[in-house]
Structure 1
Amino acid sequence: MVPHLVTALNGPINELEARVLESMPATERWFRLEWMEHTPPFYTSVDIRNAGFKLAPVDTNLFPGGFNNLTPEMLPLAVQAAMAAIEKICPEAKNLLLIPENHTRNSFYLTNVRRLIQIFTQAGLNVRLGSLDESVKAPTAIQLPDGSELTVEPLVRTRGRLGLKDFDPCTILLNNDLSTGLPQVLEGLHEQYLLPPLHAGWAVRRKSVHFRAYEEVAKKFAKLLGMDPWLINPMFSTTTDLNFAEGTGLDALQTQADALLSKVRRKYKEYGIQEKPFIVIKPDAGTEGFGLMTVRDAKELADLNLKARAKLGASGRGLEVSSVILQEGVPTYERVNEAVAEPVVYMIDRYVVGGFYRVHAERGRDENLNTPGSSYVPLAFAESGQLPRLGEKPGASAPNRFYMYGVIARLAMLAASYELETTDPDAEQYD
């Protein structure tokens, strides 16, 4: 199933699809060489927007929480990728400790946790759940909507190791984005593998660092294919030292917004795009779609009322926002049953294992879809994403479209690899 692309401006993307497919051997070799030099994140999900004239990632998550949206047909790929990842990290691994988010009453998220347990159990590991929630003092059963249950247990720290009672894991897998801070119980683990590492959490991570790395990756890939990197890269800038409650720093924010909108307008003019450009302002740290604002004219920021400032200053976890990223808005022209949609690609290690369309009937093509009311339609990656049909007319084939999504998602995953290397507090830094 491929949603229709509601736009006449699909020339550049069809051209990009043709170029990527023609260059498939060079593309795959390029990725292979990059992975010889860099370590992929353990798992990644990437939100992609297809504007017809541009195809680009707009968010990269290192703690993906939607594995429940992958179809059963995708599971073999996920299990195989999990096997490869674990074998590379800890070949003798027997036990895996999975640490989920603390807000574990969300039934969709809990179903995601159950799916992760299924994937890693089938990859040959004993999987148990440990909670960072200090109110969990004993094994606690949590009911799922279908009548099944998960059991979360209190963590047990013994010197340099973390585990559960009578459970000593080789590897600890975080499915908790650490946006409220770095728990002391996770620090100083010298004898176990913590995946992703602590500096991947939102207490430390910044979107601007990721998209700076993505810009570098996009330039390298565009040079390989002989194309303009803008076709796959959303331009961005940042503003710091903001206080939305007091209204300080908003002049600088308006100046940055005006400059970025001007850059986007020039690109639209270059490509003959008859659209009104927009940018999206969002917290530089954090996820879940909080604190986003779409801006079409920088003057909109001149007189923000208290309600608008409060929205921009919200991170979703009660933390104040003092730094934002201004990102070129990429409209989505994908539709599922006439509702606006965007593809989300899921990866384990360096492999695409599946994905889905995030669909929202009440949102516009230039709005955030990661909000209440969204639904999810699986993508058929398991059959088609790895096997594009070479020689077919661009824009006409599901496998070719999905392969394109996979390429863009892997570029974002490679950027996350660069990002984690740059921000690793234990790595030697070179000028």
Structure 2
Amino acid sequence: MPIPHLASTPALDLEKRILAAKPAIEHWLRKQWKHHTVPFYCSVDLRNSGFKLAPVDTNLFPGGFNNLNPDFAPLCIQAMMIAVEKICPDAHSVLLIPENHTRNVFYLQNVAALQSIMQQAGMNVRIGSLLPEITQPTTIPLPDGQSLLLEPLQRNGNKLVVENFDPCAILLNNDLSGSIPDMLRNLDQTIIPPLHAGWATRRKSWHFSAYDNVAQDFAELIGIDPWLIDPYFTSCGKVDFQEKEGLDCVAAAVDEILSQIKEKYTQFGIKEKPFVIVKADSGTYGMGIMSIRDGAEIYKLNRKQRNKMTTIKEGTVVKNVLVQEGVHTLESIHQAVAEPVIYMIDHLVVGGFYRVHMSRGVDENLNAPGMHFVPLPFDATCMQTNPEARPDAVPNRFYIYGVIARLALLAAAIELERYTQASSLALAEAQ
């Protein structure tokens, strides 16, 4: 399987600076992990335009472990052992709670892969389903010949269990898009990630606010303009696309972000046409997203477009949107546009894959129906570099991806800390 290539020759100054600064970068990151609690696991969608490399989404409930290179299983197992030891050192029995899917076999293969990694790391793992129709242990066959056993969850006092299994920790692979189920509240067990990491609470704008700070510090460390790794963004609340409410805020935000992008394009001599992504400020699965090139387009959406922007996963109504600088992708496989997705367990990069879409353009969202994954292109780890090769050679490019993904991971850590601090302050004031 060929490695995706850049469709045009990129300016390599950013890559050169990151590679040259590897000792300083790794030292700086080690210091950050000492001061911040790292999310248990994470995946980051990146876009590489040749002149800019930036994260565009960070998922704290990653669902593509089945797409990682199986040769890197030892990396995953070692990282999993480190992650569990930090959060729950006595963990030997873990209850894994997946998304409410029984027909999405690709997602279920991810659950099976995650369960296997944890088992190889020395834990007993059973899978408890939140689905009401799972009233008894249910075996689901998978395309690769494996099977998955889903079991009904039971709550005993302040503990969540399945039959004859008393776990000391709960691992969520369910992003809580709709709401936090009462069954998960006020438990005596450790829940990872924490409930406030789910989309019922979390906002993408909070994440990118934290990423702004991280990108600024990193840019100072290696001597670059932070814009090269950081997309502009703002957010709007009280938006209703169906009733056409709050659209003035969105249109004005689009034009403001476009103006900022144009200034940078002029500064760096970039000829591409700028665009903006408008998307739900919470949620995943690529729902509630559109590309915009002029704020006036917001007022001209047809019924289908408004419907698309009104509800997302589990029927959640969109009331808040993120208006984010669009980052072109110049990577391609067989002339289809591609973007890298990097996976981490604890602070360690454990692999990645490419999301590919045959019918989408370089300025469009690729996380959409019709996408597919190139599962095994990351044939080198994201930590090895080759000083003798070009900055955009495969091992060097993967290392650079790993660096930017870890910046997003650090931002997620800071984001969650800020939420906890704000909640504690609000509670203290209320008392």
In structure 1, the gaps of 5 or more residues are: none
In structure 2, the gaps of 5 or more residues are: none
* Kept in 2: contact 1:353–1:382 (CA 8 A): no
SS of 1:363 mapped into structure 2: coil
Which of residues 134, 137, 146 is equivalent to 1:136? 134
Show the counterpart of 2:27: 29
Which of residues 274, 279, 282 is equivalent to 1:282? 279
Show the counterpart of 1:4: 5
Which of residues 416, 423, 430 is equivalent to 1:420? 416
Q: How does 1:27-426 map to 2 (within 5 A)?
A: 27-190=25-188, 192-378=189-375, 381=378, 383-395=380-392, 397-424=393-420
Report the more deviating stretch, 316-325 or 73-82. 316-325
SS of 2:373 mapped into structure 1: strand
* Kept in 1: contact 2:177–2:199 (CA 8 A): yes
CA drift of 1:158 comes to 1.8
TM-score (norm 2): 0.96
Which amino acid in the other structure matches residue 419 of structure 2? T
C-alpha separation in 2, matches of 1:424 and 1:136: 34
Q: Would you identify which runs of 4 or more consecutive aligned residues in structure 1 move more than 3 Å?
A: 378-384, 425-431
SS of 2:44 mapped into structure 1: strand
Q: 1:425 to 1:150 in 2, by over 3 A?
A: farther
CA drift of 1:391 comes to 4.4
CA drift of 1:426 comes to 8.6
* Kept in 2: contact 1:360–1:369 (CA 8 A): yes
C-alpha separation in 2, matches of 1:257 and 1:43: 32
SS of 1:383 mapped into structure 2: coil
* Kept in 2: contact 1:74–1:381 (CA 8 A): no
C-alpha separation in 1, matches of 2:15 and 2:170: 39
SS of 1:371 mapped into structure 2: coil
Output one character per residue of 1:100-131: Cα deviation in whole Å (capped at 9) or x when no partner: 11122101011101101110000000110001
Output one character per residue of 1:115-162: Cα deviation in whole Å (capped at 9) or x when no partner: 011100000001100011122221111121234321111112122221
SS of 2:315 mapped into structure 1: coil
* Kept in 2: contact 1:51–1:332 (CA 8 A): yes
CA drift of 1:164 comes to 1.2
CA drift of 1:7 comes to 2.2
C-alpha separation in 2, matches of 1:91 and 1:308: 48
- The number of aligned residues is 426
After superposition, the CA RMSD in angstroms is: 1.6
Which amino acid in the other structure matches residue 419 of structure 1? E
SS of 1:390 mapped into structure 2: coil
* Kept in 1: contact 2:351–2:381 (CA 8 A): no
Report the more deviating stretch, 240-249 or 305-314. 305-314
C-alpha separation in 2, matches of 1:352 and 1:346: 6
CA drift of 1:306 comes to 2.4
SS of 1:411 mapped into structure 2: helix
C-alpha separation in 2, matches of 1:321 and 1:61: 18
TM-score (norm 1): 0.96
Q: Percent identity of the aligned residues?
A: 54
* Kept in 1: contact 2:67–2:376 (CA 8 A): no
